[in-house]
Structure 1
Amino acid sequence: MPDSFVTEMPTVLDRRTGPFGEVVLRRHGALLQIIANGTFLMDTSDGRSERLLIDAALAALPPTRSGPSLLIGGLGVGFSLAHAAADPNWGRITVIEREPAIIDWHLDGPLRPLSAEAVADARTEIIEADLVRHLHEASVTYDALCLDIDNGPDWTVTEDNEGLYSPAGLAACQARLNPGGVLAVWSAQPSANFEGTLRNAGFRAVRTEEIPVVRGVPDVVHLAVRAA
């Protein structure tokens, strides 16, 4: 990696106060980064874990299920949405994003080149809403829930997101899943405790897939299936 890339100072492209605090989009060399309340959330350096999140959910569904519906929790830099929309096997694709700034950056801002084709796809719908509230209050169901919220069940930047990984939050996930549907949860680190929480919530076929990273512990995707 060139020294100039490492030492270059990030440039703030947009800074807003949203419903859950400050959210910042900045450029650091070739990368775009999202910062929430002073804490790094994600960047455009590598979309492997986001792609695995989508692919693992699809692979865990029964092969006889045609055009399965998908809910993506968190728009982020758009890797998950772009990967899902590039796969013709998915049917309806719904994205829940609570930060209006992030949606704006995709619709008409610096993140648009990463997601424009996916956003324009007729299967795609982006809803500005809090994911936890949507799971509890919505009546629509899905074949797969792919959740990329905060840094995972053991380390949340926003306190409100802790409820997503609680027994009540997982019960809401079950309610939004069709029988045999798949829950896929991205995490910045493995969590044996969360696997136990998933089993205690009634999910079956609970397992964890690791995504190697350059340094540190691997990212993971936790997978679980609602009983048919």
Structure 2
Amino acid sequence: MIPWVQLDSAKTPDGGQELRLKQRGAEFSIMLGTNELMNSRLSGSEEALAKLSCERIVGRSQPKILIGGLGMGFTLRAALAELGADAGITVAELVPAVVAWARGPMAALFDGCLDDPRVSVREADVGHIIRSDKAAWDAVLFDVDNGPEGIVYKGNDALYSAAGLGAARAALKPGGVLAVWSQGPDSGFARRLKQAGFVVDEVKTRANGKRGARHVIWIATLA
């Protein structure tokens, strides 16, 4: 069997943990300690995050999408495939090394999508962008952690709080969509979404087509 090789590492934003980029043949993995955050063979649920969101805003002129978390680009590539030439997609990535990995060792995996004229990458906290832009986005997608809990960065907890969801609501255009990826269900978070004024659809999806772990996507729309 081909062994894993560590290509690089980077501290999490609070400096308390370490992200590691590993490669085995053509396969990539991003690890946080012993926890695998993402793997290049498992893209199904991240792609579903983009497709389900874009379905809700089909037909809009010049749609603006904000994606929290670059990762391995699965959500971004799927959104580009769903949206027309007039769309604009901003990706907020808090860890500069992840952007460097996308343009460096994982460039083939990204297949040039970062150079698409519809795409803008900002090395910033998606929460800060949301709070500064009112009624600016047709859809906001959260894929910044393993779910509504800040495993990689505890500061992400604020995104999923009542105040954070209120800020996300204010950042959306009328009829906009907030979509959140999670490795598993969370009844408390679903309840907070509804309390924030969203109509909520909880979708279960697989990590890899019809196989792999079951993940959850919340599609929250403004009534």
Q: Under a length normalisation based on structure 2, what TM-score does the superposition of the two structures give?
A: 0.89
Residue 16 of structure 1, CA deviation:
2.5
Distance 1:16 1:155 in 2: 17
CA RMSD of aligned residues (A): 2.0
Which of 180, 185, 197 is residue 180 of structure 2 equivalent to? Answer: 185
Q: Residues 10 and 20 of structure 2 are in contact (CA less than 8 Å); yes or no, is this contact kept in structure 1?
A: yes
How do 1:1-228 residues align onto structure 2 when only pairs under 5 Å count? 4=1, 8-17=2-11, 19-21=13-15, 22-36=18-32, 39-61=35-57, 63-89=58-84, 91-107=87-103, 109-139=104-134, 141-154=136-149, 156-204=151-199, 206-213=200-207, 214=211, 218-227=214-223
Contact 1:10 1:27 in 2 (8 A): yes
Tell me the amino acid that sits aligned with residue 128 of structure 1. E
Letter in 2 for 1:101: A
Q: Which amino acid aligns with 1:222?
A: W
Using a 3 Å threshold, how does the CA distance of structure 1 residues 138 and 65 change in structure 2: closer, same or farther? closer
Percent identity, aligned pairs only?
37
Distance 1:215 1:48 in 2: 9
The alignment's TM-score, normalised by the length of structure 1, stands at: 0.87
Amino acid at match of 1:170: L
Cα distance in 2 between the residues matched to 1:177 and 1:156: 26
| AA matched with 1:12 | Q
1:57-93 CA-partner distances (Å, limit 9, x unpaired): 11122x4422321111100011111122233437000
| CA deviation profile, 1:156-175 (whole Å, cap 9, x unmatched) | 33211111110011011112
- The answer to whether the 8 Å contact 2:54/2:79 transfers is no
Count of residues in Structure 1 that have an aligned counterpart in Structure 2: 217
Deviations 1:108-140 (A, max 9, x none): x11111224211111100000012222223457
Residue pair 2:12, 2:152 contacting (<8 A) in 1 also: no
- Contact kept, 8 Å, 2:135 with 2:174, in 1: the verdict is no
- Structure 1 contact 18–100 (Cα < 8 Å) conserved: no
Between 31-40 and 95-104, the greater mean CA deviation after superposition:
31-40
Distance between the aligned counterparts of 2:145 and 2:189, measured in 1? 15
Query: Partners in 2 of 1:212 and 1:88 — Cα distance?
Result: 23
Greater RCO between the two (CA within 8 Å, min separation 6)?
Answer: 2
Distance 1:120 1:146, change over 3 A: same
SS at match of 1:86: helix
> Could you list the per-position Cα deviations for residues 35-54 of structure 1 after superposition, in whole angstroms to 9, with x for gaps in the alignment?
23553211101211111101
In the aligned structure 1, how far is the partner of 2:101 from the partner of 2:83?
25
Structure 2, unpaired ranges of 5+ = none
2:180·2:219 contact (CA, 8 Å) conserved in 1? Answer: yes
Query: Unmatched 5+ residue regions in structure 1?
Result: none
Q: CA deviation at 1:182?
A: 0.5
C-alpha distance in 1 between matches for 2:192 and 2:62: 30
Could you say if the C-alpha distance between residues 88 and 198 of structure 1 is closer, same or farther in structure 2, counting changes exceeding 3 Å?
closer
Q: CA deviation at 1:150?
A: 0.8
